Chain A
């Protein structure tokens, strides 16, 4: 039989080496368990590290998109509530207009009806100036100065961005943006008189009249006349219906945006869950597995300690 010459340094070298290996494995497992992480630097597991880093990128983005969506939903809900109130106001105005058309309505009733309509005009103007946080939501890109103002009594002017391309967009997923505002002038309209040469009564004034506020103020002005033209009032009733339709359209637009946000949010949350699982699978330890490995390693260390102490001790010296 072939045998190796076992010298004392040979024995101690191999014992020390094996004990060191066992100890470092044990310490490694202890570190993993206390940190809960399998990898602390890229070279521990390159593929897993890459998954972790890219998952971190995507999770960071998703967090941001979810924040944007919540923000946008808040704004859209505020706008929807504002529109609902406006719809109520339109219905009230229609009832008032019908009362005005009633043959029995005299000048006193007209005055009362008109003051009620004026209240409604104020109310619609206030709704147009609804704020979400610090922003006026119906001013388009112009979120800071008040969008609906009354420079002259009986007129309401819209100062925000004009309808069209001036929508505020929010990013809700990679490269996808949605508008979160509807333009105030298209929904609420305005009524004001421009005087280019600034001399009253020269007859060159331009009347800017559009939308709901245009109808309301025209109606109110007519009812303030000593003998209101009933045909004109009746026409306003038809205009109110058109205005109502515009508002309903805007509302359904907001509704569809809201549901799109809701859908995107739930997709993002699914992605978030998947990515978190991928990340966790890449970097987190399997507690049960690691603990049983630790116990196995402890047993191995104990065994090698025990055996080592028995191997080191005896020599011929003990028997001489």
Chain B
């Protein structure tokens, strides 16, 4: 296997595991590089970072929230909104490693070919956002945060695992046997929030159809395959908001037809 075929995959795993390690060290050794967890953290002992969706849910309960959490959510939203796009899902979120493993196993075991297809809309995640906010308002409890596998896995690494591991296993099995990319690509409302936030980001994958040989390897590995509609047809940016900027398509392409580029935000607005 060539380095160019796994470059972004390795980089992503490095970033994901490094962040988990820094969070772990923040609790275990008291390092001040990154403390807290993915819901809310402190960077270098000074910069607050918060999950915008968690903050939204808290606001939906009708509670007044501290300024640090609000500032943290704005910082995160600006970072992904301007630069990273939906990169949280593929470069930060620890559940991505679980669901990627399930997707990889599906390909290796050819489960796609024998499975009875169960169809779930990829827009379910946006309904889940609305539902989470409504339930938060009704129950007085940030509704997604009580069952979010993202923070359960994240906190498990930092503070020790509990019975919440069962949910992680369930999601792995769901992705493996029920729906391809079921959790991250269909249901997860946090992914939906990051899709919306990252809609106009600068960093995007760009397709060059002149180089494309229509091998379709990119479509095989893409967890949000609907965003690759232009493959072999038009040279353009992958502009749909669900693209996680994971770079797997860039990795597997042997023909230089896909790569990361900086998108001119203003121009893309005009072309709409």
Mutual binders A and B: no
Q: Which residues of B contact A (CB under 8 A)?
A: none
Q: Which residues of A contact B (CB under 8 A)?
A: none
